[in-house]
């Protein structure tokens, strides 16, 4: 316990205590967990003098380390899932993850589509499942403290294998629900999409307002050659949650990959995306629509890494900031010497609705190849007064006129992410946006 | 009836309307003509409720009620409608969504029931057909990618749909081809009624051959400097504004 002495904050000390208490009972390779935790003990929680966390001072924001959530019994888990109604109606294969543990009784694990194989992470770790070799495909992530803490504490999640050639029509919906007193959860999900397969993954995250939960979720996607992978994430954590999340997407050749993150919830969010273009002629799109108000803080940080040639990356982020809230967008696109003919476009736009709001945009390009087309842009402004006047002159009251303009501003991300033919999915994704706008009044 | 009394308006210290007086009776179509920059669009914006002007003096009365303290949406509910000289493009907002939001907002504010979707669609389609607006356009984002003439027609479609009592048309004829001009004029004429008031701003006598005005007013330097009957427009077409500009300068 000598290490504990060097920590500066109660949360850091608490994390160390939590680890020493939990380590013996956590499944899988104990040495790997110790290595991951050492990454945290080396630096403590990241703070504003750490460049990548400049705008999100996790050390200051995290007052204490909540206790690790325990696994609920079937009945309690089913009750928690039944209480989470917002995304219950999505037509999908459901996998419920309650308080960091898969709730099999509330999941459709027995009725998986052809070509889909799912094992719980806890079981996979306990038995040393061969698919776990696909974890950690993007090694840079291991150096990230949020990811490292997840590696140290991960309790459960799922390991998904989509077999070569399988065209999975029905989306897989990971329903994350946290119930009860303030607690910490750490889930890890792996989706290995084999050659030529296609799949849609939806994640929804919910917990009650007013409870300071501390989720830390990691999703790792490995998309082999010629796959099509769509990932839609809705972060509707409660307004007191401190939510860390990491997506890694390791993309082979001729892949079509799309991810969208919709954020309405937590007090503090840090969503990190690591996307590596490892094979040629792949397209990868990362999009986000973030709505924050009050004293909320939402940070999206991207690490896009082009290694293979002839790939196209698109990043589109929309942020709406009300009250005294803060938005952060950090996007780094690195293009290696080997990644000739890369076509990368990154755009972050924010609308400030109040005097007290802040947006920090930090786009970065790091290009070592000479034949590439890369562009980035960032805008931050108010709603257009002339457009508002036009709408109001037609009898639409100001709040509704603002909502119309904001809905179209944010909705562009949904339009781009979901094809026109998929009306139901669009409506599912627009619903949290509309709910947020109408709550604004 | 619409009355504008001694309206004095500045923007960034520059005087644009300078004691303007005008009244238009119920059932009357008043044409406003005047040189570029004389303040015609400013007048229309002030009546519709655009901010960012300093109104130093004067009143705008609808049936005796001063509307200058109301926001644009409240004025629309009272029946004010401005067909913009330059209609705005609103990306991402489908024309149908916009029309429905506007119509229902007005109805709600007046204590009327909201229209059902089929009823609404029927009304829009009927108005679109009369104005020869292809239905496909209604599915696009409002005014985005519309031609100049299409945008103007879309303004008149809105007017037909909302049935406002005080209609201001700011150079609706500019950008319209000859056939479109007739279609739009027919649309306007169909709305003429004893309890509706029109203010038609134009540079050309041609429009006034289709929409025959009851009165014609000449604006120069932020004021109405001459009023008359429809023959005044013919006279202006022949002689231009030289007289009025000179008169001001004198
Ligand atoms: N936002 C503004 N800032 C400064 N000056 C303005 C502004 N808006 C209008 N003006 C000025 O006010 C004057 C009147 O403009 P307005 O658009 O009302 O003229 P108009 O009579 O409609 O002209 P046109 O026939 O060309 O349409 C012009 O000199 C114009 O430059
Ligand atoms: Mg004008």
Model confidence over B218-235: pLDDT tens digits? Answer: 999 999 999 999 999 999
**What are the chain A neighbours of B168 within 8 Å (beta carbons)?**
none
Nearest chain A CA: its distance from B159 CA (Å): 10
Model confidence over B114-140: pLDDT tens digits? Answer: 999 999 999 999 999 999 999 999 999
Whether residue B75 lies within 8 A of chain A, CB to CB, comes out as: yes
In this prediction, residue B244 carries a pLDDT of: 79
Structure tokens at A132: 């776990």
Nearest Cα to B151, choosing from B61, B205, B86? B86
Nearest chain A CA: its distance from B222 CA (Å): 23
Measured CA to CA, the distance from residue B16 to residue A142 in angstroms comes to 65
Structure tokens at A309: 């040639």
Nearest Cα to A273, choosing from A322, A316, A226? A316
pLDDT tier for residue B240 given thresholds of 50, 70 and 90: confident
Q: Which atom of ligand 1 is nearest to the CA of B85?
A: 27
Tokens 């519309």: give the residue. B146
Measured CA to CA, the distance from residue B200 to residue B219 in angstroms comes to 13
Any idea of the CA torsion for B58, B63, B64, B66, to the nearest 10 degrees?
Answer: -50
B14's enclosing H/E stretch is strand B14-24
Model confidence over A177-213: pLDDT tens digits? Answer: 999 999 999 999 999 999 999 999 999 999 999 999 9
Most confident of A422-426, B3-7, B174-178: B3-7
Residue B123 lies in domain: 2-249
Nearest Cα to A213, choosing from A186, A233, A185? A185
Measured CA to CA, the distance from residue A364 to residue A396 in angstroms comes to 40
In this prediction, residue A4 carries a pLDDT of: 47
> Which phi and psi angles does A369 have, rounded to 5°?
-90, 155
Pair A32, A153: CB distance under 8 Å: no
Pair B7, B43: CB distance under 8 Å: yes
Tokens 């504008």: give the residue. B4
Give the total residue count for chain A: 441
Measured CA to CA, the distance from residue A160 to residue A67 in angstroms comes to 28
In this prediction, residue A420 carries a pLDDT of: 81
Nearest chain A CA: its distance from B69 CA (Å): 14
For residue A408, the CA-to-ligand 2 centroid distance in Å is 29
- One DSSP character per residue, B100-159 reads HHHHHHHHHHTTPPPPPHHHHHHHHHHHHHHTT--HHHHHSBTTTT--HHHHHHHHHHHH
Measured CA to CA, the distance from residue B223 to residue B203 in angstroms comes to 16
Measured CA to CA, the distance from residue A263 to residue A243 in angstroms comes to 11
Pair A120, A156: CB distance under 8 Å: yes
The DSSP symbol for A190 reads E
pLDDT tier for residue B248 given thresholds of 50, 70 and 90: low
Q: B99 CB contacts (<8 Å, ≥6 apart)? A: B120, B124, B138, B158, B161
In this prediction, residue A2 carries a pLDDT of: 45
Does residue A5 carry a pLDDT above 60?
no
Nearest Cα to A374, choosing from A338, A342, A347, A348? A342
Pair A219, A246: CB distance under 8 Å: yes
Average pLDDT (A144-161) is 98
Model confidence over B133-179: pLDDT tens digits? Answer: 999 999 999 999 999 889 999 999 999 999 999 999 999 998 899 98
Q: N- to C-terminal Cα distance for chain A?
A: 52
Distance of CA B43 to the CA centre of its chain: 10
The residue of chain A nearest to residue B106, with distances taken between CA atoms, is: A395
In this prediction, residue B247 carries a pLDDT of: 58
In this prediction, residue A230 carries a pLDDT of: 98
Structure tokens at A91: 């037509």
Nearest Cα to A46, choosing from A248, A290, A332, A301? A301
Residue B150: give its domain's CATH number. Answer: 3.40.50.300
| Beta-bridge partner residues of A363 | A331
A407: alpha, beta or left, given left = phi > 0 and alpha = psi -120 to 50?
A: alpha
User: Among all ligands shown, which has an atom nearest to the Cα of B203?
Assistant: 1
β-strand B14-24 against A256-263: which pairing, if any?
A: unpaired
Helices (H), A154-238: none
Does residue A97 carry a pLDDT above 80?
yes
Q: What percent of chain B has pLDDT over 70?
A: 98
pLDDT tier for residue A24 given thresholds of 50, 70 and 90: very high
Burial of A381 (0-12, 13-18, 19+ CB in 10 A): exposed
Q: Ligand 1: does its nearest atom lie under 6 Å from the Cβ of B164?
A: no
B143: alpha, beta or left, given left = phi > 0 and alpha = psi -120 to 50?
A: left
**What are the chain B neighbours of A412 within 8 Å (beta carbons)?**
92
Does residue A316 carry a pLDDT above 50?
yes
Does residue B52 carry a pLDDT above 90?
no
pTM of the model: 0.92
> Which phi and psi angles does A79 have, rounded to 5°?
-65, -40
Q: Ligand 1: does its nearest atom lie under 6 Å from the Cβ of B42?
A: yes
Q: In the sheet where B2-11 sits, what is the strand order?
A: B14-24, B2-11, B54-62, B65-66
Model confidence over A247-261: pLDDT tens digits? Answer: 999 999 999 999 999
Measured CA to CA, the distance from residue B201 to residue B207 in angstroms comes to 10
In this prediction, residue A265 carries a pLDDT of: 87
Measured CA to CA, the distance from residue A221 to residue A215 in angstroms comes to 19
Q: Ligand 1: does its nearest atom lie under 6 Å from the Cβ of B13?
A: no
Does residue A3 carry a pLDDT above 80?
no
Query: What residues of chain A have any CB closer than 8 angstroms to a CB in chain B?
Result: 385-387, 389-398, 400-401, 404-405, 407-409, 411-412, 415
State how far the alpha carbon of A392 is from the alpha carbons of A103, A234, A330, A401, in Å.
Answer: 49, 32, 35, 7
The residue of chain B nearest to residue A383, with distances taken between CA atoms, is: B90
Nearest chain A CA: its distance from B210 CA (Å): 26
Pair B184, B198: CB distance under 8 Å: no
Burial of B240 (0-12, 13-18, 19+ CB in 10 A): exposed
pLDDT tier for residue A7 given thresholds of 50, 70 and 90: confident
Model confidence over A333-392: pLDDT tens digits? Answer: 999 999 999 999 999 999 999 999 999 999 999 999 999 999 999 999 999 999 999 999
Task: Give me the interface pTM, i.e. the ipTM.
Answer: 0.96
Average pLDDT (A215-223) is 98
Measured CA to CA, the distance from residue A143 to residue B41 in angstroms comes to 61
Q: A49 CB contacts (<8 Å, ≥6 apart)? A: none
Does residue B250 carry a pLDDT above 50?
no
Report the domain count for chain B: 1
β-strand B29-33 against B65-66: which pairing, if any?
A: unpaired
In this prediction, residue B241 carries a pLDDT of: 87
With H, G, I as helix, E, B as strand and everything else as coil, classify residue A16: helix
Q: Do B92 and A391 touch (CB under 8 A)?
A: no
In this prediction, residue A1 carries a pLDDT of: 44
Tokens 């009306």: give the residue. A423
Measured CA to CA, the distance from residue B4 to residue A331 in angstroms comes to 55
Model confidence over A98-152: pLDDT tens digits? Answer: 999 999 999 999 999 999 999 999 999 999 999 999 999 999 999 999 999 999 9
Average pLDDT (A1-11) is 69
For residue B185, the CA-to-ligand 2 centroid distance in Å is 19
Does residue A244 carry a pLDDT above 80?
yes
Nearest Cα to A170, choosing from A224, A114, A246, A92? A92
> What residue's CA is closest to ligand 1, atom 5?
B11
Q: Ligand 1: does its nearest atom lie under 6 Å from the Cβ of B194?
A: no
């Amino acid at each position: 316990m000598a290490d504990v002495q060097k920590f500066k904050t109660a949360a850091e000390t608490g994390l160390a205590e939590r680890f020493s208490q939990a380590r013996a009972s956590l499944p899988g390779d104990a040495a790997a967990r110790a290595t991951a935790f050492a990454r945290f003990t080396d630096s403590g929680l990241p703070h504003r003098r750490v460049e990548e966390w400049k705008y999100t001072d996790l050390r200051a924001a995290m007052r204490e380390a909540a206790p690790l959530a325990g696994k609920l019994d079937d009945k309690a888990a089913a009750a928690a899932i039944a209480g989470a109604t917002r995304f219950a109606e999505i037509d999908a294969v459901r996998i419920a993850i309650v308080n960091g543990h898969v709730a099999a009784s509330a999941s459709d694990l027995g009725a998986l589509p052809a070509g889909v194989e799912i094992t719980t992470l806890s079981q996979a770790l306990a038995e040393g499942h061969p698919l776990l070799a696909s974890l950690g495909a993007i090694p840079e992530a291991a150096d990230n403290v949020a990811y490292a803490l997840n590696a140290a504490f991960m309790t459960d999640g799922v390991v998904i294998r989509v077999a070569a050639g399988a065209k999975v029509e029905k989306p897989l919906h990971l329903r994350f629900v946290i119930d009860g007193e303030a607690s910490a959860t750490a889930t890890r999900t792996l989706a290995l999409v084999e050659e030529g397969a296609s799949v849609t993954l939806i994640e929804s995250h919910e917990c009650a307002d007013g409870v300071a939960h501390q989720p830390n979720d990691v999703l790792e996607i490995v998309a082999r050659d010629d796959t099509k992978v769509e990932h839609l994430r809705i972060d509707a954590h409660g307004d007191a949650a401190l939510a860390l999340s990491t997506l890694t997407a390791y993309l082979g050749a001729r892949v079509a990959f799309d991810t969208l993150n919709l954020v309405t919830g937590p007090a503090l969010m840090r969503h990190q995306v690591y996307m590596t273009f490892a094979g040629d002629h792949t397209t990868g799109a990362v999009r986000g629509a973030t709505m924050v108000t009050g004293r909320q803080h939402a940070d999206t940080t991207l690490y896009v890494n082009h290694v293979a040639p002839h790939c196209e990356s698109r990043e589109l982020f929309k942020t709406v900031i009300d009250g005294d809230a803060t938005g952060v967008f950090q996007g780094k696109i690195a293009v290696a010497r080997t990644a000739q003919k890369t076509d990368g476009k990154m755009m972050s736009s924010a609308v400030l609705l109040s005097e007290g709001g802040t947006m920090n945009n930090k786009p970065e390009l790091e290009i070592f190849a000479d034949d590439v087309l890369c562009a980035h842009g960032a805008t931050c402004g108010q709603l257009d007064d002339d457009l508002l006047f036009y709408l109001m002159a037609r009898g639409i009251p100001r709040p509704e006129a603002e909502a119309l303009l904001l809905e179209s501003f944010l909705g562009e991300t949904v339009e781009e992410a979901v094809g026109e033919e998929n009306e139901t999915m669009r409506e599912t994704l627009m619903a949290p946006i509309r709910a947020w706008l109408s709550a604004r009044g | 009836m619409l009355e504008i009394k001694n309206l004095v308006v500045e923007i960034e210290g520059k005087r644009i309307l300078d004691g303007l007086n005008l009244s238009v009776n119920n059932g009357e179509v008043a044409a406003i003509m005047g040189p570029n920059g004389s303040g015609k669009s400013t007048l229309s914006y002030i009546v519709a409720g655009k901010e960012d002007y300093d109104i130093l003096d004067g009143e705008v009365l609808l049936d005796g009620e001063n509307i200058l303290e109301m926001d644009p949406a409240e004025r629309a509910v009272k029946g004010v409608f401005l067909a913009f000289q330059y209609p705005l493009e609103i990306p991402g907002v489908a024309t149908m969504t916009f029309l429905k939001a506007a119509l229902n907002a007005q109805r709600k504010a007046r204590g009327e029931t909201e229209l059902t979707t089929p009823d609404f669609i029927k009304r829009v389609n009927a108005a679109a057909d009369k104005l020869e607006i292809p239905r496909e356009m209604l599915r696009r984002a409002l005014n985005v990618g519309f031609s100049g003439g299409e945008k103007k027609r879309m303004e008149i479609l809105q007017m037909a749909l909302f049935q406002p009592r005080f209609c201001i048309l700011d150079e609706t004829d500019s950008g319209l081809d000859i056939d479109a001009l007739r279609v739009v004029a027919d649309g306007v004429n169909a709305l003429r009624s004893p309890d509706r008031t029109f203010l038609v701003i134009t540079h050309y006598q041609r429009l006034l051959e289709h929409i025959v005005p009851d009165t014609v007013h000449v604006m120069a330097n932020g004021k109405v400097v001459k009023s008359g009957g429809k023959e005044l427009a013919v006279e202006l077409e022949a002689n231009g504004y030289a007289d009025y500009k000179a008169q001001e300068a004198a």
